[in-house]
């Protein structure tokens, strides 16, 4: 691997990311899959770094899942998106940051479609006015929330309490980064570092002390694929893709996986359980899996948030081996206690996966 | 083990790293012309059996090169040794003889 | 008085045209931007289809131009169209009043790093056709025996997204030639050519293909490489589709050679901008007529030879150089003869 060669490509895919003042929209599924990630994003950016990140309860889904599952036509999703953008304008913002990769890809696709077909843009603007009485607007800058954490990675590193370093050996942790397909595969220029060698997560790992693993199936999809997962009969495809990735990364002995998409961490995490229960195979040390994190969770760990406040107890693959490596203290007794000390109940134990 | 109603499916991808090179080398030694196939398809187009059964010398050679021995043998099962493919092969491969050689090396 | 002819570009086209123009009695001024004459030919080791030495071929061309005014490391600074001729100022300070100009600015190799998925400049072991020729020429091939080597045809050719929908014409034959050559050096290695169509159109090219198959056991896989990655043991994992069996395919290789195609040369574009020369969609200069007047531009007295009007093989280029000399001779005689 010639690192300089990657740096040349990264230099070609510089994306302008404004420093401050964003209109923030959440993801539909992340709030239940990784319940504290978005709250952590807001807490880090607003309270720790002092940024102006505005959120309104009036925003909705972008319609992406329905669109990609062929449940709604493109015009419908475009009108939903036009409404989100109009809300941004209404609240006085021109920078738009979204938490979800599906949304990000769909926003990019929509803006590109409008650019190419102005008559369609006009039609959507009319739809918006008729249905919502809102004024059509487009963001000046569209970024994904991982772009922003990337932008702030050095500020986060400066405030860090822990590093992506094995405290016992002093060695950097071996980190697999996984980028959501719709982050830059459709529009490579919209992603930090492009599509073949994205830099957005690599930059965070480097800034926080970890070591990147570039394994052969790095670019391969996690297998979510909407219809591949949503229809039970197709789930074999989904889990097979995840299986292919794990088989490919296994020789590198990764300590953790960091992702920037709603679906990827979910499937890379949950399918390890299914692979363990159907194939009897686990990929971490001593029967454990490889813990999978969102970038907000990793930023939170680095900044010293309590692991249970980050919602890490909702992961299928236990995160304790990683916490031990990083030297992060945690109280096992509090793992399944909710925000106010309420007992959430203990999940059942898998047979094969520790 | 739990039955989820779905599972990891085996990959149908060709993996050239795991091709049995020794057997193919043995075949090429016995039948050097096997290397000359340029995949024109004349053999399968004129094959008597291919009208009814999946039969193709071209695809059998390709399958052997890709390490899919079972598939190669299946593609020759329907052969009736009529010799038409040998007549039409533009590279002059003695396909009839090749089919027998494949059976010798790979057949059970 | 002898008419001055300015030839821009000291590759095979410029050399061969200069030699013929000199023979026809003209005063030829040849300029070349590089230190040495010969263009890409000077960088190559052996030539398809017969494997003759590129150096010897170039030496033969160089012998013919003795007596021609050759200025190396010299570029065209500016050029003006006068009433009947061209006033050219060269970067070495010399001014040339030329009655005709021949542009033989050739091609640049496609920058293989633009096909990011192949990882040129990122994965060690991924090299270009030109790198391999240099390794042959300088005898710098890796001494460690590779287990498997691949060749990717059409890198930056027949690729709209890479900005070049055209075929580069020489890559198929070059790949098959190089595949045989590496097999000679590493007889135990598995050698694969990933092609879309094999365009072995020239005399003896098909023989070369047959030899590659039969004598060297080179495996031809019909499908374009889609992605290259590095494996844990530092080899290359290559993905393609075997389109003849309609199945995705993977293979681990130690060396992957990218057949970088031909793009219009940057130095040619600089000249083109000064004279507003028109180009076709492929970026190469447009001839006055693509059948009858290939050597003529739309400017009177300004001519083309070689790959500046599209990808050419070496024999094509030499033919064009000779016919450009005849065309220029005809033009000068018509334009400057006493009436």
What is the number of CB-based contacts under 8 A between chain B and chain C? 51
CB–CB of C311/C262 below 8 Å? Answer: yes
Longest Cα–Cα distance of chain A, Å, equals 63
- Verify whether the Cβ–Cβ distance B36 to C210 is below 8 Å: yes
Q: How far apart are CA C275 and CA C81, in angstroms?
A: 8
**Residues near A69 by beta carbon (within 8 Å), at least 6 away in sequence:** A226, A227, A230
Tens digits of per-residue pLDDT, A186-232? 999 999 999 999 999 999 999 999 999 999 999 999 988 887 888 88
Give the residue on A whose Cα is nearest the Cα of C124: A1
CA distance A59 to A83: 8
Model pLDDT, residue A80 = 96
Low-confidence ranges of chain B (pLDDT < 70): none
Q: Verify whether the Cβ–Cβ distance A217 to C229 is below 8 Å.
A: yes
Q: Which pLDDT value is given to residue A344?
A: 86
Cα–Cα distance for residue pair C161/A323, rounded to 1 Å? 45
| Domain regions of chain C by residue span | 4-106+265-336, 110-261
Predicted local distance difference test score (pLDDT) of residue B63: 97
Interface probe, candidates C229, C235, C253, chain A, greatest A C-beta count within 10 A: C229
* Region for C125 from its dihedrals, namely left if φ exceeds 0, alpha if ψ lies in -120 to 50, beta otherwise: left
On the CB side of B33, how many CA atoms lie within 13 Å of its CA?
Answer: 15
Using the beta-carbon criterion (under 8 Å), do B16 and C192 form an inter-chain contact?
yes
Radius of gyration over every alpha carbon of chain B, rounded to an integer in angstroms: 16
CA B32 to chain centroid, in Å, comes to 15
Average pLDDT over residues A265-269: 94
Q: How far apart are the first and last CA of chain C?
A: 16
Mutating which of C148, C194, C225, C244 best tests the B interface, going by the most B Cβ atoms within 10 A? Answer: C244
pLDDT tens per residue, range A69-101 = 889 999 999 999 999 999 999 999 999 999 999
Residues of chain A with CATH 3.40.50.11810: 146-334
Q: Which residues contact A342 (CB under 8 A, 6 or more apart)?
A: none
CB contact under 8 A, B4 and A277: yes
Query: What digits encode the pLDDT tens for the residues A27-58?
Result: 999 988 998 999 999 999 999 999 999 999 99
Which residues sit opposite C260 in a β-bridge? C155
Would you state the pLDDT for residue A351? 81
* C245–B66 CB contact, under 8 Å: yes
CA triple C278-C279-C280, angle to 5 deg? 130
- Neighbour subunits, A (≥3 Cβ pairs < 8 A): B, C
Q: How far is B17 from chain A (nearest CA, A)?
A: 15
Check CB contact under 8 Å for B4 and A278. yes
If phi > 0 it is left, if psi is from -120 to 50 it is alpha, else beta; for residue A185 that is: alpha
The 10s digit of each residue's pLDDT in C69-95 is: 999 999 999 999 999 999 999 999 999
Nearest-neighbour CA in chain B from C213: distance (Å): 6
* Greater pLDDT, A129 or A70: A129
By Cβ distance, the residue of A8, A196, A219 closest to C121 is A8
Q: Residue C121 CB: number of other CB atoms within 10 A?
A: 17
CATH assignment of A146-334?
3.40.50.11810
CA pair distance C40, C42, nearest whole angstrom: 5
Q: Domain spanning C110-261: which superfamily?
A: FAD/NAD(P)-binding domain (3.50.50.60)
State how far the Cα of A176 lies from the Cα of A179, in Å rounded to an integer.
10
Chain center to CA of C310? 9
pTM: 0.94
Q: How far is C333 from C331, CA to CA, in rounded Å?
A: 5
Q: Is C336 exposed, middle or buried (0-12, 13-18, 19+ CB in 10 A)?
A: middle
Q: Give the pLDDT score at A226.
A: 81
CA–CA dist C220, C260 (Å, integer): 18
Does domain C4-106+265-336 fall under CATH 3.40.605.10? My reply is no
Identify the segments of chain C with pLDDT beneath 50: none
Domain A18-145: which topology? Glutathione S-transferase Yfyf (Class Pi); Chain A, domain 2 (1.20.1050)
Closest CA to A216 of A179, A269, A252: A252
Q: How many CB pairs under 8 A join A and B?
A: 34
Q: Which chains touch C (3 or more CB pairs under 8 A)?
A: A, B
Chain A residues within an 8 Å CB radius of C121 = 2, 4-5, 8
Write out chain B residues lying below 8 Å of C244, CB-based: 39, 59, 62
Q: What is the pLDDT of residue C259?
A: 98
**Residues of B with CB below 8 A from C222's CB?**
39
Beta strands in C32-178 (DSSP E): 46-47, 52-53, 69-71, 76-81, 86-90, 95-98, 100-103, 107-109, 126-128, 148-155
Chain C CB contacts of B32 under 8 Å are: 214
pLDDT, residue C1, reads 64
Per-residue pLDDT reduced to its tens digit, A135-191: 999 999 999 999 999 999 999 999 999 999 999 999 999 999 999 999 999 999 999
Of B2, B6, B11, the CB nearest to A239: B6
Chain C contact set for B65 (CB, 8 A):
219
Contact A1 C237 (CB under 8 A): no
Taking an 8 Å cut-off on Cβ atoms, the answer to whether B14 and C248 are in contact is: yes
Q: Is B16 in contact with C251 (Cβ distance < 8 A)?
A: yes
Q: How far apart are CA A48 and CA A53, in angstroms?
A: 12
Specify the pLDDT at position C338.
62
SS3 content of chain C, % helix, strand, coil (to 5): 30, 30, 40
For B14, which of C220, C222, C249 is closest by C-beta distance? C249
Partners of A197 on chain C (C-beta within 8 Å) are: 116, 122
Q: Tell me the percentage of chain C whose pLDDT exceeds 70.
A: 99
Q: CATH 1.20.1050.140 occupies which residues in chain A?
A: 18-145
Kindly determine whether residue C232 and residue A251, on different chains, have CB atoms separated by under 8 Å. yes
- Rounded Cα–Cα distance for residues A248 and A268 (Å): 13
Decide if C232 and A252 are in contact by the 8 Å CB cutoff.
yes
Contact C251 B17 (CB under 8 A): yes
CA C223 – CA A272 distance, rounded (Å): 33
Q: For C197-243, what is the HEC assignment?
A: CCCCCCCCHHHHHHHHHHCCCCEEEECCCCEEEECCCCCEEEEEEEC
């Amino acid at each position: 691997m010639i690192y300089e060669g990657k740096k040349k490509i990264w230099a070609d895919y510089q994306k302008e990311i404004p420093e401050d003042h964003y209109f923030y929209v959440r993801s539909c599924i992340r709030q239940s899959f990784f319940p504290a990630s978005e709250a952590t994003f807001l807490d880090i950016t607003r309270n720790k770094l002092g940024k102006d990140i505005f959120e309104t309860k009036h925003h909705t889904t972008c319609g992406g899942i329905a669109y990609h599952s062929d449940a709604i036509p493109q015009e419908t999703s475009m009108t939903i998106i036009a409404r989100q953008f109009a809300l941004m304008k209404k609240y006085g913002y021109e920078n738009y940051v979204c938490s979800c990769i599906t949304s990000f890809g769909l926003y990019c696709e929509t803006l590109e479609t409008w650019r190419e077909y102005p008559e369609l843009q006009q039609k959507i603007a009319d739809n918006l006015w008729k249905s919502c009485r809102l004024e059509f607007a487009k963001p000046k800058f569209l970024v994904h929330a991982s772009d922003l954490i990337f932008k702030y990675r050095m500020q986060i590193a400066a405030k860090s309490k822990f590093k992506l370093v094995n405290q016992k050996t002093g060695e950097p942790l071996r980190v697999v980064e996984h980028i959501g397909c719709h982050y830059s595969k459709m529009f490579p220029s919209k992603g930090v570092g492009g599509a073949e060698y994205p830099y957005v997560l690599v930059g965070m790992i480097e800034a926080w002390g970890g070591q990147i693993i570039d394994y052969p199936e790095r670019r391969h999809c996690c297998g979510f694929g909407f219809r591949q997962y949503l229809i039970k009969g197709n789930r074999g495809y989904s889990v097979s893709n995840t299986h292919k990735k794990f088989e490919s990364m296994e020789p590198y002995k990764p300590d953790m996986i960091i992702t920037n998409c709603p679906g990827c961490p979910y499937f890379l995490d949950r399918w390890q359980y299914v692979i363990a229960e159907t194939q009897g195979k686990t990929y971490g040390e001593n029967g454990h899996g490889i813990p999978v994190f969102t970038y907000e969770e990793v930023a939170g760990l680095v900044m010293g948030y309590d692991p249970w406040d980050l919602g890490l107890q909702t992961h299928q693959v236990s995160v304790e081996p990683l916490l031990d490596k990083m030297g992060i203290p945690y109280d096992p007794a509090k793992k399944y206690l909710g925000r106010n000390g309420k007992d959430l109940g203990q999940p059942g134990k898998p047979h094969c996966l520790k | 083990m739990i039955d989820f109603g779905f599972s990891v499916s085996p990959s149908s991808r060709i993996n050239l790293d795991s091709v049995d090179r020794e057997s193919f080398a043995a075949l090429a030694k016995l039948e050097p012309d096997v290397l000359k196939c340029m995949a024109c398809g004349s053999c399968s187009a004129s094959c008597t059996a291919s009208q009814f059964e999946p039969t193709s010398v071209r695809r059998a050679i390709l399958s052997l090169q890709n390490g899919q021995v079972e598939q190669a043998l299946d593609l020759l099962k329907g052969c009736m040794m009529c010799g038409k493919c040998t007549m039409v092969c533009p590279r002059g491969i003695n396909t009839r003889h090749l089919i027998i050689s494949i059976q010798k090396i790979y057949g059970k | 008085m002898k008419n001055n002819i300015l030839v821009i570009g000291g590759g095979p086209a410029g050399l061969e045209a200069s030699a013929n123009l000199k023979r026809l009695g003209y005063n030829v001024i040849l300029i070349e931007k590089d230190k040495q004459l010969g263009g890409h030919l000077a960088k190559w080791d052996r030539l398809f289809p017969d494997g003759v030495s590129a150096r010897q071929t170039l030496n033969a061309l160089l012998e013919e131009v003795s007596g021609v005014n050759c200025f190396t490391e010299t570029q065209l600074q500016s050029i003006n169209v006068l009433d009947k001729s061209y006033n050219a100022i060269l970067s070495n300070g010399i001014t040339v009043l030329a009655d005709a100009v021949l542009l033989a600015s050739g091609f640049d190799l496609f920058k293989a790093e633009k096909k990011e998925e192949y990882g040129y400049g990122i994965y060690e072991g991924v090299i270009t056709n030109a790198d391999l020729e240099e390794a042959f020429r300088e005898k710098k091939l890796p001494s460690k025996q590779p287990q498997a080597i691949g060749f990717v045809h059409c890198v930056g050719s027949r690729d709209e997204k890479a900005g070049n929908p055209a075929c580069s014409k020489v890559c198929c034959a070059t790949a098959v030639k190089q595949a045989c050559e590496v097999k000679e050096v590493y007889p135990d290695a598995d050698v694969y050519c990933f092609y879309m169509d094999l365009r072995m159109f020239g005399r003896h090219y098909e023989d070369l293909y047959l030899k590659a198959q039969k004598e060297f056991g080179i495996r031809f896989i019909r499908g374009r490489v889609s992605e290259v990655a590095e494996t844990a043991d530092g080899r290359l994992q290559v993905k393609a589709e075997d389109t003849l069996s309609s199945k995705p395919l993977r293979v681990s290789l130690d060396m992957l050679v990218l057949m970088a195609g031909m793009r219009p040369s940057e130095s040619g574009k600089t000249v083109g901008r000064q004279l507003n020369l028109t180009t076709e969609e492929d970026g190469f200069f447009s001839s006055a007529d693509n059948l009858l007047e290939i050597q003529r531009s739309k400017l009177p007295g300004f001519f083309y030879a070689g790959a500046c009007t599209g990808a050419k093989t070496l024999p094509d280029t030499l033919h064009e150089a000779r016919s450009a000399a005849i065309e220029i001779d005809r033009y000068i005689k018509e334009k400057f003869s006493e009436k």
